[in-house]
């Protein structure tokens, strides 16, 4: 899930779309006849020690994690929802004519307590969950979603919003205010405000079902991922594996109760090196199938019926809202605008990528044949034989680079790059609140020395953390309603823990992911907007990956590598000969990488361009989709349907193409740095001022043109992947 960004829930409108609105009473039936503000105060009075009901008594208002317990969430959510309901009612009851200030801004300023609680709770359910939090999530999700529906389906409130919207050209609004008004109005119309009362009831029911199924999908996937283990009992079965990988597997075995053995899991830091280096083909097949069959084992955690029903319900909801398909509904708010535009983009890249992948297959099959292998290349062979070819072609494999990319050194490289580009500096603090002992925390200072943000890093794999890598915010930056909010940003990744005296050593790809995620973090920390709902990564899904894709480029620059890529034992800077090998090999295997990603993208779009409401046979639908696109058997989609959490348990439905879309922008944007110098101050300032600081306060493609001076072209991306000759 490299690059996945989870955005905090910042308003009632965001609650609706982030959680998939569900229908449920906002407060208990016993409180239904009591004024919401009274309900909220009663809950607060009855829970005086709840840390959410007073300002955090911590440095910079970091959440007081030591005091926050599972039993605090439900009362805090209920009080927050009741408070928000009272705030919305006050807007509706305002006798003054609707204005931007008393309606649009008043809505933006509402929901503070709900946002405070949700930003902690939903970060932890992804990064450090447990059975209690998962149970609370199932109870809270419909409450929050119903609160969102109560706002967006309230006709009196919508009429006030509509009145202001109809006057927008005469109000003298700033660009950000105009955008906020546009987005607020669209949230209502896209949330069902124009539906009949009967259809509003139907929409609530659909939202409820979708929200519950999404939670169930995610819980099942986490259970499936944690359940699988490949237990190796014979040391001979470890042939080919690097010693550090073997040491980590032994540590995992001890932790899981298999003392004296070795355990490999379907978490990326475990499965990827096993598939790449293990000589035992049968075991490679076993762990590979353990990975790609998650959620598809016809057990209690099976996701096939869940995802098929979700796709059908989304199709039904889209047509209820007047859209042809769910993809048409979603993409209306993206820079791509329509699924037809996305398919057109994919079809430009797919032929070259598939052709390159087939050439890669031929090379590997020739190697197998030359070694006397009496078998046809299979999907579980790809990493193993492609690595052999990389070594043969470039005398290079990632194990050569690992000693130079310790986690500590790579962090230094990230911070060095940010300092050179934007003048920011960091200072680590070990005395600040954290939600897990493994979390690290830094103060981040701007170029003028002022404190700009708090940055947290959560880097090691654990069972309580879902897979992948992402950025999130415990508090967004904003400057509204008299409050100047300093952002609290977190990067969450899944790297192997240090073993013994050895540090955590990263593969080249893992080091690149660290740069990528810090690109998201910079988007959050360098944000400089007035309104919270426009801060940082609060941008369209097919734009949000753009700043992080750009950031990856600096890691491979010789000038940057020389600053941080140092051998963890000797301190020797990575040799230039090895750097040249890295650069030469950078386009290697790009057919595979592009095809597996695009196959998942096409699968996503196929699920979400359905026009009928009958749940499909998920396995057959996926098979038909892959066959239609001509995917070769040696490659599986990066995410098969049953573990495609981006689209069935996250916010990327009909939007997984966003990584490619953003990569086009990223490749084109980095051309500006290559043209002017990778640390050119004017170019860096232009990128910060037009992209990173603006968040969602203006049309994103207009911001891009202001930075680049033109629209992005696809050629830089194709060149960077070796899919187009220079």
> 408 and 395: one domain?
no
Judge whether 161 lies within some domain. yes
Tokens of 116: 């405070």
Tokens of 54: 């007073």
> 593 and 714: one domain?
yes
> 282 and 391: one domain?
no
Enclosing H/E stretch for 459: strand 451-460
> 100 and 133: one domain?
yes
Q: Rounded to the nearest 5 degrees, what angle is found at the Cα of 321, between the Cα atoms of 319 and 324? A: 35
**Domain containing 35 — which CATH number?**
1.10.1370.40
> 420 and 381: one domain?
no
Domain count, the chain: 4
> 57 and 139: one domain?
yes
For 244-284, how does the pLDDT look when each residue is reduced to its tens digit (9 = 90+)?
A: 999 999 999 999 999 999 999 999 889 999 999 999 999 99
What pLDDT, on a 0 to 100 scale, did the predictor assign at position 22?
Answer: 28
Cα dihedral 527→533→537→541 (10° resolution): -150
Instruction: Classify 588 as helix, strand or coil.
Output: coil
User: Which of 166, 190, 214 represents a domain boundary (last residue)?
Assistant: 190
Residues of the chain with pLDDT under 70: 1-34, 725-726
What pLDDT, on a 0 to 100 scale, did the predictor assign at position 351?
Answer: 93
For 102-111, how does the pLDDT look when each residue is reduced to its tens digit (9 = 90+)?
A: 999 999 999 9
Judge whether 397 lies within some domain. yes
Tokens of 493: 């990744």
DSSP state of 690: I
Judge whether 385 lies within some domain. yes
Residue 517 is a catalytic residue: yes
> 378 and 456: one domain?
no
User: Which of 190, 206, 237 represents a domain boundary (last residue)?
Assistant: 190
What pLDDT, on a 0 to 100 scale, did the predictor assign at position 399?
Answer: 83
> 424 and 383: one domain?
no
What pLDDT, on a 0 to 100 scale, did the predictor assign at position 26?
Answer: 25
State whether the Cα torsion 601-603-606-612 is positive or negative: negative
Helix 339-370, helix 382-394: angle, nearest 10: 70
Q: Do residues 518 and 414 make contact, with C-beta atoms less than 8 angstroms apart?
A: yes
Judge whether 42 lies within some domain. yes
Judge whether 61 lies within some domain. yes
DSSP state of 502: B
Judge whether 162 lies within some domain. yes
Judge whether 271 lies within some domain. yes
What pLDDT, on a 0 to 100 scale, did the predictor assign at position 33?
Answer: 53
> 121 and 66: one domain?
yes
> 386 and 500: one domain?
no
| HEC per residue, 507-549 | CHHHHHHHHHHHHHHHHHHCCCCCCHHHCCCCCCHHHHCHHHH
> 476 and 606: one domain?
no
**Domain containing 370 — which CATH number?**
1.10.1370.10
Residue 647 half-sphere exposure, CB side, CA atoms within 13 Å? Answer: 31
Tokens of 149: 């529906």
Judge whether 304 lies within some domain. no
> 617 and 639: one domain?
yes
For the chain, state the CA radius of gyration. Answer: 25
Catalytic residue, chosen from 517, 545, 552, 596, is 517
What pLDDT, on a 0 to 100 scale, did the predictor assign at position 581?
Answer: 86
Cα–Cα dist 674/137, whole Å:
46
Helix 131-152, helix 197-227: angle, nearest 10: 160
For 661-683, how does the pLDDT look when each residue is reduced to its tens digit (9 = 90+)?
A: 899 999 999 999 999 999 999 99
User: Which of 162, 190, 218 represents a domain boundary (last residue)?
Assistant: 190
Domain containing 378 equals: 339-401+588-720
Whole-prediction pTM: 0.85
Task: Outline where DSSP puts E strands in 387-429.
Answer: 425-429
What pLDDT, on a 0 to 100 scale, did the predictor assign at position 718?
Answer: 83
Task: Outline where DSSP puts E strands in 311-450.
Answer: 425-429, 440-445
Cα–Cα dist 439/434, whole Å:
6
């Amino acid at each position: 899930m490299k690059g996945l960004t989870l955005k905090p829930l910042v308003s009632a409108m965001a609650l609706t779309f982030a959680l998939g609105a569900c229908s449920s009473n906002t407060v208990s039936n016993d409180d239904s006849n009591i004024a919401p503000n009274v309900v909220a105060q009663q809950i607060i009075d009855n829970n005086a020690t709840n840390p959410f009901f007073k300002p955090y008594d911590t440095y910079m208002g970091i959440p007081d994690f030591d005091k926050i317990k599972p039993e605090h969430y439900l009362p805090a959510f209920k009080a927050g929802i009741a408070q928000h309901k009272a705030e919305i009612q006050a807007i509706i009851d305002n006798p003054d004519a609707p204005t931007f200030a008393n309606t649009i801004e008043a809505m933006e300023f509402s929901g503070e307590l709900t946002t405070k609680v949700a930003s902690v709770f939903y970060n932890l359910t992804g990064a450090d969950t447990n059975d209690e939090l998962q149970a609370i999530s199932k109870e809270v999700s419909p409450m929050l979603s119903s609160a969102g529906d109560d706002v967006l389906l309230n006709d009196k409130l919508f009429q006030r919003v509509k009145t202001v919207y109809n006057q927008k050209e005469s109000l003298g609004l700033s660009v950000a205010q105009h955008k906020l008004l546009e987005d607020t109005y669209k949230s209502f119309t896209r949330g069902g405000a124009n539906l009949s009362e009967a259809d509003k009831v139907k929409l609530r029911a659909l939202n409820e079902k979708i929200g519950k199924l999404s939670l169930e999908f995610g819980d099942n996937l986490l259970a499936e991922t944690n359940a699988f283990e490949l237990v190796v009992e014979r040391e001979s079965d470890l042939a080919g594996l690097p010693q550090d990988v073997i040491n980590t597997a032994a540590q995992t075995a001890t932790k899981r109760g298999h003392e004296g053995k070795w355990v490999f899991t379907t978490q990326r830091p475990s499965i990827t090196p096993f598939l790449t280096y293990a000589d035992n083909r049968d075991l490679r097949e076993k762990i590979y199938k353990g990975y790609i069959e998650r959620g598809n084992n016809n057990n209690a955690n099976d996701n096939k019926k869940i995802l098929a029903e979700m796709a059908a319900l989304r199709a039904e909801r889209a047509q209820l809202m007047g859209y042809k398909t769910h993809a048409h509904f979603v993409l209306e708010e993206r820079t791509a605008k329509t699924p037809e535009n996305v398919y057109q983009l994919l079809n430009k890249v797919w032929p070259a990528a598939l052709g390159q992948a087939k050439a890669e297959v031929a090379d590997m099959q020739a190697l197998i044949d030359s070694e006397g292998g009496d078998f046809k290349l299979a999907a579980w062979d790809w990493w193993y034989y492609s690595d052999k070819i990389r070594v043969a072609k470039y005398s290079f494999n990632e194990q050569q680079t690992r000693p130079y990319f310790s986690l500590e050194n790579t962090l230094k490289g990230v911070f060095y790059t940010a300092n050179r580009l934007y003048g920011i500096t960091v200072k680590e603090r070990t005395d600040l609140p954290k939600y897990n002992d493994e979390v690290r925390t830094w103060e981040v200072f701007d170029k003028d020395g002022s404190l700009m943000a708090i940055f947290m890093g959560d880097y090691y794999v654990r069972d309580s953390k879902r897979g992948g890598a992402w950025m999130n915010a415990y508090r967004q930056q904003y400057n509204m309603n008299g409050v100047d909010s300093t952002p609290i940003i977190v990067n969450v990744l899944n790297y192997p823990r240090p073993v013994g005296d050895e540090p955590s050593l990263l593969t080249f790809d893992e080091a690149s992911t660290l740069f990528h995620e810090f690109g998201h973090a910079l988007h959050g920390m360098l944000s400089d907007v007035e309104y919270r709902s426009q801060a940082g990564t609060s941008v369209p899904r097919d734009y949000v990956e753009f700043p992080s894709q750009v950031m990856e480029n600096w890691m491979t620059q010789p000038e940057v590598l020389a600053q941080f890529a140092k051998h963890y034992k000797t301190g020797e800077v990575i040799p230039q000969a090895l750097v040249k090998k890295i650069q030469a090999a950078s386009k290697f295997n790009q057919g595979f990488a592009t095809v597996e990603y695009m196959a998942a993208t096409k699968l996503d779009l196929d699920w979400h361009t359905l026009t009928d409401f009958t749940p499909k046979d998920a396995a057959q639908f996926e098979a038909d989709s892959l066959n239609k696109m001509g995917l070769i058997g040696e490659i599986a989609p990066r995410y098969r349907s049953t573990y495609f959490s981006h689209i069935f348990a996250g916010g990327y439905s009909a939007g997984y193409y966003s990584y490619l879309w953003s990569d086009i922008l990223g490749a084109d944007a980095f051309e500006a740095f290559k043209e002017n110098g990778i640390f050119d101050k004017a170019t860096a300032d232009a990128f910060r001022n037009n992209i990173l600081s603006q968040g969602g306060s203006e049309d994103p493609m207009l911001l891009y043109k202001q930075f680049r001076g033109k629209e992005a072209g696809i050629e830089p991306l194709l060149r960077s992947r070796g899919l187009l000759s220079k």
